Amino acid sequence: MKKTQKVRVEFRRNRNERTRNSDLTRRFEEHGFEDEKEVGVERISGRSELSRRRTVVGKLLDKDAVQDVGFAVLPDVDIDAVISGRVICVHGASSDVQTEDGQIFRCVTRRILKTLSTKERQPVVAGDRVLFRVANNCNDNSKNNNYSAEGMIERIEPRCGVISRESKHRKHIIVANVDQVLIISSADQPTFKPNLIDRMLITSEKSGIKPIICINKVDLIELSTLQAVVGVYAQMGYDVILSSVVNGLGIDRLRARLKGCESVVVGQSGVGKSSLLNAIDPCLQLRISDISAENKGKHTTTTAELLSLSCGGYVVDTPGIRQFMLWDIIPEEVFGFFRDLRPYENICHYPDCIHLHEEDCAVKNAVAEGRLDMRRYESYLAIRFEDKYCR
């Protein structure tokens, strides 16, 4: 990271004129066709409305840091006038920030952070480490809301341990600064979806976060029906836990995995994420609800929230997802994130084999001989060759 300097950075274009003018009749009655005359000279300078670049005083980040924090520069702030904190929850334009001593501040985001050009859907996410300034005139504004005061987020520190997905061609960061991800799926109600687990495993491998697979609601089925899929994931070295809130199976193992760590819980709606967290730590008292008549989960949890565990550590409860589209992963990279398929890559006859239609393909031969799981191979093909899952 370089020293503080003046840096030219790109901003979002948010002050353009309307695409369609709604006052053409009035302008014609007042000026006739004079407004339609051609402009003799058109000047584009640094202050033109076509320009999106401005000078910002801050620290220029290298390429890897930009990938994590989303911005090309960290704006300069007065360190003596700000406080460091952790974003525990985001509510639209405001965020709840907790300091090291446990105080919670309701903060808005500095305008420069919201207008810097970035591919991210929102500048501040749960888990962010930020520097914020306490407002001077808000001592009495938040007494009834259990907030110490209000403030303004001045800077977002570089992130690590990011779980993100693609949403409308932009990067949707679910949580930042975690060291492990608990991928929860249900054995039934809603239907077990191992392909969704595969996509989440790819994201965790890409981000360098330790994945833990949890199959919940195993009391609804015969455990023997899960033996094959559990064995496949376990042979690849993934930690797989079978759980049930009804009979308490796996709760102690999950509590031991979360103790002292900063974790995030992800999974589709209705798999029982909040119910599991309540069983692990009854003090959380998270809101839960039954699944719908269509055997689909309801969005009971509406926003990602950083929660402190009584056994030590933090966990982020996230809203349920029904589709997980990969971000920043090109199709050619997908094969490398499949641990079970990867060892066969160098055995294929062709060095650029895509393991689909080529002859003498080691991967296809291993699948045919039963050495590789057919479902995992089909999952690779779906992610590799269906554009809607890979951006």
Secondary structure in 3-state letters for the chain: CCCEEEEEEEECCCCCCCCCCCCHHHHHHHHCCHHHCCCCCCCCCCCCCCCCEEEEEEEECCHHHHHHHCCCEEECCCHHHCEEEEEEEEECCEEEEECCCCCEEEEEECHHHHHECCCECCCCCCCCEEEEEECCCCCCCCHHHCCCEEEEEEEECCCCCCEEEEECCEEEEEECCCCEEEEEEECCCCCCCHHHHHHHHHHHHHHCCEEEEEEECHHHCCHHHHHHHHHHHHHCCCEEEECCCCCCCCHHHHHHHHCCCEEEEECCCCCCHHHHHHHHCCCCCCCCCCCCCCCCCCCCCCCCEEEECCCCCEEEECCCCCCCCECCCCHHHHHHHCCCCHHHHHHCCCCCCCCCCCCCCHHHHHHHCCCCCHHHHHHHHHHHHCHHHEC
- pLDDT tens-digit readout, 171-221: 889 999 999 999 999 999 889 999 999 999 999 999 999 999 999 999 999
How many CB atoms are closer than 10 A to CB 121? 16
Q: Are 1 and 65 in contact (CB under 8 A)?
A: yes
User: What is the mean pLDDT of the segment spanning 107-134?
Assistant: 86
User: What is the mean pLDDT of the segment spanning 165-172?
Assistant: 85
CATH code of 331-389, in short, is 1.10.40.50
Nearest to 166 by CA among 328, 304, 327, 387: 327
Q: Which amino acid is at 187?
A: A
Annotate 300-321 with b (16+ C-beta within 10 A) or e (fewer). Answer: bbeebbbbebeeebbbbbbebb
User: What is the mean pLDDT of the segment spanning 18-35?
Assistant: 62
- DSSP lists the bridge partners of residue 151 as 107, 134
**Is the model's pLDDT at 68 over the cut of 60?**
no
Q: Which of 28-37, 244-253, 333-342 has the lowest mean pLDDT?
A: 28-37
Sequence spans of domains, the chain: 4-33+45-56, 60-156, 169-317, 331-389
Q: Are strands 83-91 and 129-134 parallel, antiparallel or unpaired?
A: antiparallel
Nearest to 300 by CA among 311, 312, 310, 291: 291
- pLDDT tens-digit readout, 87-111: 999 988 899 999 999 899 999 998 8
Q: Are 350 and 381 in contact (CB under 8 A)?
A: no
Compute the C-alpha angle 250/254/255, nearest 5°: 120
Which CATH superfamily groups domain 60-156? Answer: Nucleic acid-binding proteins (2.40.50.140)
Residue of higher predicted confidence among 303 and 225: 225
Q: How far apart are CA 274 and CA 262, in angstroms?
A: 16
Global pTM reads 0.81
CATH code of 169-317, in short, is 3.40.50.300
